[in-house]
Structure 1
């Protein structure tokens, strides 16, 4: 009886972790794609890759997960550049990569 309950709890925790990871990857994909489009560069491979994971405290003191992603882009179609972004929950906390073009007058 207890083993079935523990198995169900473990399954729920694993599913919640997997779901949160997929949500973060989808958010990172949208952010990387939008950054490349706004900068007028080519978003290579049409994906992001998880590159790091760490625990970090929220302002409230609760622990949260900070996920790092990388993506590649090219401004000329030949050279590849690496962009990086960091999400804490669903909030973007760090970004390095293509910058949006300035409007010309």
Structure 2
């Protein structure tokens, strides 16, 4: 019976790792797209996982909500931190770069 339990545990670990990798790749894509849309520099070319929790979606299905952070810069000197939250592959929230307002001259 022990080999079967080890096989089940190994499969569970593999699926957990695979889902975490897929979420990180999706977060990377979304972070990069947000920076491109805002016209800012995406620093480090990566995201960092910052949180994981069990949560229900809008239809009541239970799933994992993963939080990620990424860094960006408007001028290449100062770093700013953005945050995004995914429930599965769906973007739940994004707090990050915005396109700066143009400076209006009153001359």
Q: Same fold (TM over 0.5)?
A: yes
Aligned length: 101
Partner of 1:98: 97
Aligned counterparts of 1:100 and 1:77: Cα–Cα separation in 2: 15
Structure number with greater Rg is 2
Whether the aligned pair in 2 keeps the contact of 1:50 and 1:70 (CA below 8 Å) is yes
* RMSD (CA atoms): 1.4
1:58 Cα deviation after fit: 3.0
Partner of 1:28: 27
1:38 Cα deviation after fit: 1.0
Structure 1: 5+ residue runs without aligned partners?
Answer: none
Structure 1: which 4+ aligned runs deviate by more than 4 Å? none
Alignment of 1:54-69 (within 5 A): 54-69=53-68
Partner of 2:44: 45
**TM-score in terms of structure 2 length:** 0.89
